[in-house]
Amino acid sequence: MKYTDEQIADIGENIIRVLKTIYDPEIPVDIYELGLIYDVQISDEAAVKVIMTLTSPNCPVAESLPAEVKDKIALVEHVSEVELELTFEPTWNRDMMSEEARFELGMI
């Protein structure tokens, strides 16, 4: 089934809602606000590709966090499949955090 641009936008909003429920266990901020999600692409058939990073390549949740992201996005209504690409380019840094995340962590 092909989805309209409006339906794809709705799916995208639902994906972002899900991403905001996933936390890096070492930092009390969700991975979306931390800036760990570099891109979310949604095809007109609701196949999703997520490009994300971790705070460091040696992150203790390097195996479990990407799997959690993929599994939770797969549960979003209408998502047909999920591909997750883990990258370290560009390297994550604190400047990638949202203003909300910096506020939560007392950085502003």
Alpha-carbon distance of 39 to 31, in angstroms, equals 12
pLDDT for position 26: 81
pLDDT for position 59: 84
Radius of gyration in angstroms for the set of CA atoms belonging to the chain, rounded to a whole number: 14
pLDDT for position 73: 98
What pTM value is reported for the model?
Answer: 0.92
pLDDT for position 43: 98
For residue 95, the 8-state DSSP code is G
Residue pair 36/54 in contact (Cβ under 8 Å)? The answer is: yes
For residue 50, the 8-state DSSP code is E
Residue spans of the chain under pLDDT 50:
none
Amino acid code (one letter) for 38: Y
pLDDT for position 108: 81
